[in-house]
Structure 1
Amino acid sequence: MKCPFCGKENTRVIDSRPSDDNNSIRRRRQCDECNKRFTTYEKVEAIPLVVIKKDNNREPYDRTKIEAGVFRSCHKRPISVDQINQLVDEIETAIFNREEKEVHSSIIGEIVMDKLKELDPVAYVRFASVYREFKDVNTFMHELKKILDNETTL
């Protein structure tokens, strides 16, 4: 680390502790050349995630969009806010574990549907009907039949 006072690169860490927000490390350093002290902060470099939409437009990842879709799907269902937050956390973890800088919205939608299917079948069908843009009752019934067939095989 270069000393901000004399510009030399011989510095050492004399104290290290978490910062107030717990999202970085505060380090006190001392220059071996001029003996002056200074503070640096070290934090994890977050890779910005870009979502590729259906029309190939790109926009920054926004957790609130997933939250809003899940909340709408779970409306008037016996699902707590804690369960919804945990579900969104799981979805976000699955997205970021892909370690890609860009992800298609279709992949995010599939992850959301998989997680909702495990949580609540009604919430899943609600989300799927909007996400997959069901055009008629037959498409809706086909999706319901798949859920019912899976339940009978368990």
Structure 2
Amino acid sequence: MKCPYCNNPDTRVIDSRPAEDGSCIRRRRSCDICGKRFTTYEKVETIPLTVIKKDNTREQYDRRKVENGVVRACYKRPVATADIQKVVDRIETKVFSMEEKEIPSSAIGEAVMDELKTLDEVAYVRFASVYREFKDVSTFMDELKKILK
């Protein structure tokens, strides 16, 4: 790693530890030439993921959209924010572990529903009612019967 102060191409790692969110490594480095210290962050580079929507349009994967959907489903439910973040992390891990450059939005929606089913059943039904576009009460009841089994 090149020193940002004197451009020395060789620096030493003094300390290495996970960053606050656990998604990258924080390294303290020292330059043997100028004696200055600096911090670097090492993160895994992921392939850009494109989501194929129902109407066949394509857009860049956006974690915030998944997070917003889960938060809306859990609105006024006894679900901790930390639990929501863990669910979104697991969904994202599932999506990226498919190792595809393009993924249908339905795969993401199913992953969200799988996670919500174990997190909170009411949140699951709320999300399913929007995701599966329930047209009438009988469709809604069919989904409820699946949960009760």
TM-score by length of 2: 0.74
What are the equivalent positions in structure 2 for 1:109-128 lying under 5 Å apart? 109-128=109-128
What are the equivalent positions in structure 2 for 1:1-154 lying under 5 Å apart? 13=10, 15-16=12-13, 44-149=44-149
Displacement, 1:96? Answer: 0.7
The percent identity for this pair of structures is 62
Amino acid at match of 1:130: V
Can you list the C-alpha shifts for 1:97-149, whole angstroms capped at 9, x where unaligned? 11111110000000000000011111000000000000000000000011111
Tell me, in whole angstroms, the C-alpha distance in 2 between the residues paired with 1:102 and 1:140.
31
Tell me, in whole angstroms, the C-alpha distance in 2 between the residues paired with 1:138 and 1:23.
51
Give the total of aligned pairs.
Answer: 130
**Runs of 4 or more off by more than 4 Å in structure 1?**
21-29
* Equivalent residues of 1:13, 1:27 under 8 A apart: no
Displacement, 1:15? Answer: 3.0
Counterparts in 2 of 1:26 and 1:98: CA distance versus 1, 3 Å: farther
Counterparts in 2 of 1:89 and 1:141: CA distance versus 1, 3 Å: same
Displacement, 1:44? Answer: 3.5
* Equivalent residues of 1:74, 1:123 under 8 A apart: yes
Displacement, 1:16? Answer: 4.4
The RMSD of aligned alpha carbons is 2.8
Can you list the C-alpha shifts for 1:57-114, whole angstroms capped at 9, x where unaligned? 1100000101111011001111011111111111111111111111100000000000
Displacement, 1:27? Answer: 8.3
Point out the structure with max Rg over C-alpha. Answer: 1
Amino acid at match of 1:55: D
Counterparts in 2 of 1:125 and 1:103: CA distance versus 1, 3 Å: same
* Equivalent residues of 1:15, 1:28 under 8 A apart: yes
Consecutive unaligned residues in structure 2, runs of 5 or more = 1-8, 32-39
